[in-house]
Amino acid sequence: MINFGGGNPGNSKPATFTAIKPNGMQWELTQEVIKYYKKKVINLVDMTGPENSEEAMKQQRINLQDQPVFPGLVKDMTG
């Protein structure tokens, strides 16, 4: 989740909320989005990422649990 622009008390500029889906994060699009907004001279106010528990990731990727890459995948997604 990225918040660009104003939205703060006393700031007359409107805030822009931008959400990047997990596949966008996989394709490393976050950096491209930030570059685009900086080029447009829009200030970055806040940026947060998802916090995924190991159990939640295991449940979301249960179809891959028999694959040899599964432990590394879960580790990368929760680390």
Block residue for tokens 């939640």: 56
Distance, in Å, from the CA atom of 77 to the CA atom of 50, rounded to the nearest integer, reads 10
**Of the ranges 3-7, 13-17, 39-43, 59-63, the best mean pLDDT one:** 59-63
- List, for residues 27-59, the tens digit of each pLDDT value: 778 888 888 888 887 777 777 766 677 888 788
Contact 61, 22 (CB under 8 A): no
Collapse the DSSP code of 45 into the 3-class scheme (helix H, G, I; strand E, B; otherwise coil) and give the result: strand
Report the predicted TM-score, pTM, of the whole model to 2 decimal places.
Answer: 0.41
Distance, in Å, from the CA atom of 78 to the CA atom of 3, rounded to the nearest integer, reads 23
Tell me the pLDDT of the chain averaged across its residues: 75
**Percent over 70 (pLDDT), the chain:** 71
